[in-house]
């Protein structure tokens, strides 16, 4: 049976102290009162806990974690840690910094953190003479690549070698293993990419993509004005798509300007606006207009309906694929309902056109759904999906 997790409550203070929590009772009581403790329940009993601190906005520090001896090796600590990672991702709009400090000889905590996507980036000296030094762990929130030819093992007992290995800023502890029967840390070197060059390429790709979509939308808009049978509501949808795609071009150009002025901190936020506007304001309205255009010029109702069915199915596949913007975030009920409307309404409009019925109510609903999705991902987007499933946020370069 898998453990369940919940927020700690003040009445959990006694059981946690009985559990052997390695944190001062006064601090633990304060953390419980402020909602900074998560507890795990297994077989109806308190099985473990994790306490966090929030020293700065966007920074969460794991201050203490513990599991009942009777519940160890049952994924209690892992569930608690992923619970904290998921909650931090939701409240900090994509992650923030999650760190921890553990003694170099505390191999159980080291194995837990390293298996859950943390890396140890530096050695911290002991506060008191004679005590063991500590490793500083930080959770990786973006994918980086490890050089496969620059990894080595260092015995965990050789503090001096671990310190020397972590001196370069691009080296980190990424795993723990056995070396001649004794624990050892794997030290890996991360490849360093040029962020400005990568961001410049991303901005250029965004400009080229939006420019191509704008050309296609403009062509279809011209065709709609030349056809007397083209519905006015679809013309308005294409005009809105032209406006949104043009705005995405301006935003991508602004992102390039941020790079030119060495203000890359705003690059990600600006690119998010460009990406969302180009997809929900440009690409999807353009694709939705294609079967409606075909229904207007085709003399066959059935072929028009089949085209609408094919497009709707293709949109469903795209929405659930890893290439869509929606795939990057957790699917809420609102997001699922709006995605369903986006995929279904083009077919409904085609049927209305084929039956020679007004299509403008459905086109208006489609425009509202796309606008709602734009607002959802620009202002109320959730954390990226898959936090609990991702074991590591780095990969070995092949």
* Same domain, yes or no: 169 and 288: no
C-alpha closest to that of 388 among 83, 65, 3, 40: 83
Among candidate residues 172, 190, 208, the one where a domain is terminated: 190
C-alpha closest to that of 381 among 322, 333, 326: 326
Quickly state the pLDDT bin for 242 (edges 50, 70, 90): very high
Please spell the DSSP secondary structure of 310-365, one letter per residue: HHHHHHHHHHHSTTSSGGGB---HHHHHHHHHHHHHHHHHHHHHHTT---HHHHHH
> Is pLDDT at 268 greater than 60 in this prediction?
yes
- Tell me, what's the pLDDT at 44? 83
- Tell me, what's the pLDDT at 69? 85
> Is pLDDT at 19 greater than 70 in this prediction?
yes
pLDDT tens-place string over residues 337-389:
989 988 888 888 888 877 777 777 888 888 899 999 888 888 865 444 444 44
Mean pLDDT (whole number) for 142-146: 75
* Same domain, yes or no: 208 and 284: yes
- Tell me, what's the pLDDT at 382? 46
pLDDT tens-place string over residues 29-81:
899 999 899 999 888 888 889 999 988 888 899 988 888 888 888 888 999 99
* Same domain, yes or no: 219 and 106: no
Q: Answer yes or no: is 393 within a domain.
A: no
> Is pLDDT at 11 greater than 80 in this prediction?
yes
Q: Answer yes or no: is 384 within a domain.
A: no
Quickly state the pLDDT bin for 202 (edges 50, 70, 90): confident
Say what the alpha-carbon torsion angle 231, 211, 374, 95 is, to the nearest 10 degrees: 160
- Tell me, what's the pLDDT at 391? 45
- Tell me, what's the pLDDT at 388? 41
Name the one residue in this structure whose structure tokens are 């939701």.
Answer: 90
> Is pLDDT at 265 greater than 70 in this prediction?
no
Answer for the pair 256, 193: CB distance below 8 angstroms, yes or no: no
CATH number of 14's domain:
3.40.630.30
C-alpha closest to that of 176 among 80, 73, 75, 106: 106
Among candidate residues 162, 190, 218, the one where a domain is terminated: 190
Mean pLDDT (whole number) for 384-397: 51
C-alpha closest to that of 119 among 388, 396, 385, 394: 394
* Same domain, yes or no: 185 and 228: no
Write out the residue range of the structural domain in which residue 264 sits: 195-379
Mean pLDDT (whole number) for 281-290: 88
Quickly state the pLDDT bin for 93 (edges 50, 70, 90): very low
Mean pLDDT of the chain: 82
Quickly state the pLDDT bin for 390 (edges 50, 70, 90): very low
User: Which of 170-179, 196-205, 209-218, 240-249 comes out lowest in average pLDDT?
Assistant: 196-205
Q: Going edge to edge, which strands form the sheet with 4-7?
A: 4-7, 37-42, 45-56, 59-67, 97-103, 134-139, 118-124, 171-179, 182-190, 144-155, 394-396
Q: Answer yes or no: is 388 within a domain.
A: no
- Tell me, what's the pLDDT at 387? 41
Element (H, E) at 145: strand 144-155
> Is pLDDT at 207 greater than 90 in this prediction?
no
CA distance linking residue 234 with residue 338, whole number of Å: 19
> Is pLDDT at 194 greater than 70 in this prediction?
no
DSSP character for 133? P
Mean pLDDT (whole number) for 99-107: 89
Share of the chain above pLDDT 70, in %: 87
* Same domain, yes or no: 128 and 252: no
- Tell me, what's the pLDDT at 289? 83
> Is pLDDT at 186 greater than 90 in this prediction?
yes
Whether this prediction's pTM lies above 0.85 is answered by no
* Same domain, yes or no: 164 and 259: no
- Tell me, what's the pLDDT at 59? 87
* Same domain, yes or no: 92 and 214: no
pLDDT tens-place string over residues 111-128:
999 988 899 999 888 766
Quickly state the pLDDT bin for 258 (edges 50, 70, 90): low
CA distance linking residue 356 with residue 309, whole number of Å: 18
């Amino acid at each position: 049976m898998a453990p369940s997790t919940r927020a700690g409550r003040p009445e959990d203070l006694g059981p946690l102290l009985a559990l052997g929590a390695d944190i001062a009772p006064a601090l633990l009581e304060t953390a419980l009162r402020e909602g900074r403790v998560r507890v795990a329940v297994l077989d109806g009993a308190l099985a473990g806990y994790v306490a966090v601190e929030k020293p700065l906005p966007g920074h969460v520090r794991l201050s203490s974690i513990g599991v009942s001896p009777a519940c160890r090796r049952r994924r209690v600590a892992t569930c608690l840690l992923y619970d904290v990672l998921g909650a931090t991702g939701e409240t900090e709009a994509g992650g923030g910094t999650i760190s921890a400090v553990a003694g170099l000889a505390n191999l159980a905590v080291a194995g837990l953190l390293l298996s859950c996507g943390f890396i140890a980036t530096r050695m911290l000296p002991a506060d008191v003479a004679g005590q063991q030094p500590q490793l500083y762990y930080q959770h990786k929130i973006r994918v980086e690549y490890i050089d496969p030819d620059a990894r080595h093992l260092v015995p965990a007992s050789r503090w001096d070698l671990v310190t020397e290995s972590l001196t370069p800023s691009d080296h980190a502890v990424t795993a723990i293993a056995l070396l001649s029967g004794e624990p050892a840390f794997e030290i890996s070197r991360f490849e360093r990419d040029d962020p400005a060059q990568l961001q410049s390429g991303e901005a250029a790709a965004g400009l080229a993509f939006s420019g191509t979509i704008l050309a296609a939308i403009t062509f279809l808009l011209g065709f709609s004005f030349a056809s007397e049978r083209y519905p006015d509501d679809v013309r308005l949808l294409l005009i809105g798509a032209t406006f949104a795609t043009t705005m995405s071009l301006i935003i991508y150009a602004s992102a390039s300007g941020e790079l030119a002025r060495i203000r890359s901190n705003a690059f990600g936020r600006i690119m998010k606006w460009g990406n969302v506007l180009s997809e929900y304001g440009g690409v999807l309205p353009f694709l939705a207009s294609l079967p409606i255009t075909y229904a207007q010029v085709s003399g066959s109702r059935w072929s028009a309906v089949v085209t609408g069915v094919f497009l709707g199915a293709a949109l469903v596949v795209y929405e659930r694929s890893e290439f869509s913007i929606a795939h990057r975030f957790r699917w809420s009920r609102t997001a699922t309902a709006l995605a369903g409307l986006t995929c279904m309404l083009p077919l409904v409009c085609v049927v209305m056109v084929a039956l020679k019925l007004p299509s403008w109510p459905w086109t208006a609903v489609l425009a509202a759904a796309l606008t709602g999705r734009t607002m959802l991902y620009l202002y109320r987007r959730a954390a990226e999906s898959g936090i609990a499933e991702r074991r590591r946020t780095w990969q070995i370069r092949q």
